[in-house]
Amino acid sequence: MCGIVGYIGHREAYPIILKGLKRLEYRGYDSAGIALFDGTDIKLSKTKGKVDDLQAKLEKEIPTNGNLGIGHTRWATHGVPNDVNSHPHYSNSGNLVIIHNGIIENYESLKKELSKRGYTFKSDTDTEVLVNLIEDVKKNENTKLGKAVQIALNQVVGAYAIAVFDKNKPNEIVVARLGSPLAIGIGDDEFFIASDASPFIEYTKNAIYLEDEEMAVVRRNKGVKVRKIKDDSLVDPYVQELQLNLEQIEKGGYDHFMLKEIYEQPSAILDTFRGRMLPNEGIIKMAGIEDNMKTFLNANRIIVVACGTSWHAGLVSEYIFEDLARIPVEVEYASEFRYRNPVITDKDVVIAISQSGETADTLAAIKLAKSRGAFVFGVCNVVGSSIARETHAGAYTHAGPEIGVASTKAFTTQITVLTLIALRLARAKGTISSSEFRHHMIELELIPEKVKRALDSDAYVKTVADIYKNAKNFLYLGRGYNFPVALEGALKLKEISYIHAEGYPAAEMKHGPIALIDENMPIVVIATKKGHYEKVVSNIQEIKSRKGKIIGIVTEGDEQVRELADHVIEVPETIESLTPLLTTIPLQLLSYHIALMLGKNVDQPRNLAKAVTVE
């Protein structure tokens, strides 16, 4: 995925676009570029590397004046990250310039056709094909840019959010969306274009989120005209009032977004259950569940579809739903589910979990499930995201913007929402008593304070990180509710420190991974008092007798594991189903500190992007 920004109005476009690209860098950061209209011509600069590299290059290369411009930060799909493949891309005439987030799947056949008509291409990108297709249509049909974009997009297969302008018509930007997000900020005689609202939040609180298959012509001093790409019908766009504020998208004194987001978990979890759960009155209320209670209660099973960390949250929910609500659950990688011809019926409830709400595989899995008659419920963080809109109903996690590529607060807030749902269904089905129901709520209410206490281990976790930072491999073990936490701990370490790590159910160790254990292997074992404690202690004994280095994640006051382990990191006690909300904290901190000590870019690890909007 990539980040796109545009501006048309009365201010200087460059500082707005540059700042916007920095805010969108979480979406992709292998190259970046900006095109500005200086009143006479387009001035364009682009480079491989980050937005800071672009800034250094651009300010030497081109004048930065002009109040129309577009910018792009890229996560490469077609063509390696280099200067030439970076966006924006010119059309052959040099009149049009475009930025694009997404993939044009039929670009090769389009390119062949255009080549036959004399077009040449400098880059390997699908985007350069698209801008020339638009130019070709515009010329052949002798039409305005908006119409040409529309005709061209009707020939395109794939996904896109685009912004394009014509230097001969510098009073408009044409934008369109299919499968990739695109927001238009509405100011006073000025308009902002962006992949999300963060680039323009200090200028306006009013935004239009284009729907799939919609395009808009954004005209200086005139406004925004939205229409359907397919049938040309005009759309009356809904202008949404943004809840986002500037503080939420800045680092607020922390060195990294990841650290800030780890520390935001007490409030993020609280915000997620606040207003939905009233322990004293014995009530959990969530509109998406209440409105569809019958569907949930009549469901044969729940199928969870998700990717990465969200998939791990889905695995935790399998334990919660089965344990509390006695509903069978299957947890599927969205990417496998969508290509497996799965058996789905109208008796299935599908829960799609996604922080970004834009993950292409999860979105495709939702569409497949819907086409087979299933009811699909979304658990998303980003309000108004594609997945939030594509699902029949849903519940938001109230984590606030998550910018660090390594997901942290999204994971714990997803577990929080899923716990609320499971508890609500369990009560409705009568699979837990009212006192158990109340007890769970009281324990959940205590979690934000307990997460704060778990965060107190930070300094000690840092010393542990220092000892093991040069290890080549790590194992993470957990049982029951904490098996998915072991997977999540390993994923966190891999993605930001590039150390190979594997998560396993502790009991599976003896079926293979035990062969890896020697005195050089650090093994993180989640061994909280609630949840197969004695069994896990036996697993720790097995590791110890093979000289593995044991880092135990234990309940406060634990003595038994302390005796055996090389290090113990304590978390407060809670009921078993809520332990993942605490045990995951030291694992996030461990990966953060190791990555930092190894000099890695914690917030923007190599090869990754915050939302994977391509297959």
Element (H, E) at 449: helix 434-455
CB of 477 to ligand M6R, least distance (A): 20
- Choosing from 46, 167, 549, 610, the catalytic residue is 610
- Distance separating alpha carbons of residues 469 and 461, to the nearest angstrom: 12
Structural contact between residues 378 and 354, judged by C-beta atoms closer than 8 angstroms: yes
Indicate the residue whose CB is closest to ligand M6R: 308
Amino acid at 411: F
Find the shortest distance in angstroms from Cβ 319 to ligand M6R. 19
CA torsion 217-220-221-227 (nearest 10°) is 0
Residues that bind ligand M6R (CB under 6 A): 307-310, 354-356, 359, 362, 405-407, 491, 495, 608, 611-612
**Other C-beta atoms lying within 10 Å of the C-beta of residue 297:** 13
Q: Report in angstroms how near the CB of residue 331 gets to ligand M6R at its nearest.
A: 14
d(CA 412, CA 531) in angstroms, rounded, equals: 19
Structure tokens at 584: 């995951």
CB of 399 to ligand M6R, least distance (A): 11
Secondary structure (DSSP) of 139-174: HHHT--HHHHHHHHHTT--EEEEEEEEETTSTTEEE
**The token pair that represents 296 in the structure block:** 């949930």
Closer CB to ligand M6R, 355 or 577, in the complex = 355
Q: Which is nearer to ligand M6R, 309 or 528 (CB)?
A: 309
2, 46, 138, 380: the active-site residue: 2
8-state DSSP, 613: -
Q: For strand 42-48 and strand 3-8, is the pairing parallel, antiparallel, or unpaired?
A: unpaired
Identify the DSSP state of 324.
Answer: I
In the complex, minimum distance from the CB of residue 244 to ligand M6R, in angstroms, rounded to a whole number? 17
Identify which of residues 309 and 584 has a Cβ nearer to ligand M6R in the complex: 309
Query: Please, which residue, 237 or 489, has the CB nearer to ligand M6R?
Result: 489
Q: Is 50 a catalytic residue?
A: no
Yes or no: say if 385 and 357 are a contact pair by the CB < 8 Å rule. Answer: yes
Q: Write down the least CB distance from residue 397 to ligand M6R, Å.
A: 10
Residue 19 bears catalytic tag? no
Count of residues for the chain?
A: 615
Distance (Å, rounded) from C-alpha 416 to C-alpha 574? 14
**Active-site residue numbers?**
2, 610
